[in-house]
Amino acid sequence: MNFTRTVLVTGGCGFIGANFVKLLLKERPDWRVINLDKLTYAGNLQNLAEVKESENYHFVKGDICDAAMIEALFTAEKIDTVCHFAAESHVDRSITGPADFIQTNIVGTFTLLEAARKTWLGGNWDGKEPSFLHVSTDEVYGSLGETGFFTETTPFDPRSPYSSSKASSDHLVSAYFHTYGLPVFITNCSNNYGPYQFPEKLIPLIFHNALNGKALPVYGDGKNIRDWLYVKDHCEAIVRVLEKGVHGQSYNIGGNNEKQNIEVVTVICDLLDAKLGLLPSGEQRKSLITFVKDRLGHDRRYAIDASKIKDQLGWQPKVTFEEGISKTIDWYLANQQWVDSVMDGSYQEYYQQMYANR
């Protein structure tokens, strides 16, 4: 088959990356997808088990910091599009162990940019028009007060090692456009949720604990506000940027769903009570809510102004928070084996079983 694009998806076994790979294989069958993932703790091959034999899909286990491997992959597969998801992404982990965030998020992004520059701009590129899309976060902008929204021109003001590493990588990507003319896009999204999210994040963690009658830890007073974006909406926005975006531009991607953390926790509890009944004690699951010491440097509020991508590219989110959270809870309830394998670590055996004899 003559594919119209060959897309390198980094971190394609992670939460957003896996949803993105599935979307491409379903909705862009004329694109070839190369999934590069190191398979760290948050990378799970089971997320893509049903598509692993697709003719336009190929998995490569590798590290985005391995320059020789990356450059060879660009050449061998004739990569013309990069969707760069791979990142260390959990704020709490960045506070206790920032080194991995610097290495993966900054050095890894630099390594990919260099490979793209050498391949596409080195004078020998005879492939399709290339694009490098860097997926980033609204956390690079810092913290908002009670009013206002982040726009693409909001100055960066990161507050954690995680957000600082992402801000650094955003600056690198922008610099490669301005210095070398590398054809790049940057997207900054709000909090994603949906199927396959690793349970260190708020929604899957609260789901698992509430399902099993465990304490539901909520930082501080629970009134920190986030804008919630259903993962499929995010993936569709990225495709829209690839197909319609202007190189060198940044696009904010938001869900138009601002919620306090305590609201999110309460909604999950109420949904589980409605779907499964009350706890064995007869209490509602929100009785398990436990307020804990606030996270260091905890940003109070994030909110995205996504009018640029709506006005210029015609994208806007389709899924309300109420619809999306119900879909997400239903997915977790229907995929308890996946949840259990992630919680007990047995998901990591899947790679060994599938690839040991290859």
DSSP output for 235-280: HHHHHHHHHH--TT-EEEE--S-EEEHHHHHHHHHHHHHHHH-S-T
Whether 351 is in a domain gets the answer no
Evaluate whether 315 touches 185 at the Cβ level (below 8 Å).
no
Whether 198 is in a domain gets the answer no
30 closest CA partner among 229, 257, 283, 239: 239
The mean pLDDT of the chain is: 93
Whether 214 is in a domain gets the answer no
- pLDDT at position 298: 77
CATH, residue 151: 3.40.50.720
Enter the tokens of residue 22.
Answer: 């599935």
Q: Say how many domains are in the chain.
A: 1
Evaluate whether 57 touches 30 at the Cβ level (below 8 Å).
no
Q: Which residues contact 7 (CB under 8 A, 6 or more apart)?
A: 24, 31, 32, 33, 34, 79, 80, 81, 82, 83
Percent of the chain surpassing pLDDT 90: 81
Whether 285 is in a domain gets the answer no
pLDDT over 90 (residue 299): no
- pLDDT at position 349: 65
Which pTM value belongs to this model? 0.93
Lowest mean pLDDT among 40-49, 131-140, 244-253: 40-49
- pLDDT at position 101: 95
What does the pLDDT average to over 212-241? Answer: 95
The model's pLDDT over 189-210, given as tens digits with 9 standing for 90+, comes to 999 999 999 877 889 899 999 9
Percent of the chain surpassing pLDDT 70: 96
* CA–CA gap between residue 158 and residue 124 (Å, rounded): 39
Whether 165 is in a domain gets the answer yes
- pLDDT at position 173: 98
- pLDDT at position 103: 97
Whether 132 is in a domain gets the answer yes
Pick the more confident residue, 90 or 166: 166
Evaluate whether 263 touches 321 at the Cβ level (below 8 Å).
no
pLDDT over 70 (residue 353): no
- pLDDT at position 174: 98
What does the pLDDT average to over 33-61? Answer: 93
Lowest mean pLDDT among 49-63, 79-93, 122-136, 342-356: 342-356
Residues labelled as active-site residues: 138-139, 162
The model's pLDDT over 123-157, given as tens digits with 9 standing for 90+, comes to 899 999 999 999 999 999 998 888 889 999 999 99
What does the pLDDT average to over 326-341? Answer: 91
Q: What is the dihedral of CA 35, 357, 75, 51, to 10 degrees?
A: -30
Whether 23 is in a domain gets the answer yes
Give residue 358's pLDDT band: very low, low, confident or very high (50, 70, 90): very low
pLDDT over 70 (residue 354): no
Residue 10 to residues 56, 61, 133, 168, 324, Cα–Cα distance (Å)? 16, 10, 11, 18, 25
Whether 202 is in a domain gets the answer no
Q: Which residues contact 304 (CB under 8 A, 6 or more apart)?
A: 138, 149, 150, 188, 189, 190, 227, 252, 253, 254, 255
Q: Which domain holds residue 40?
A: 5-193+228-256+300-319
- pLDDT at position 356: 46
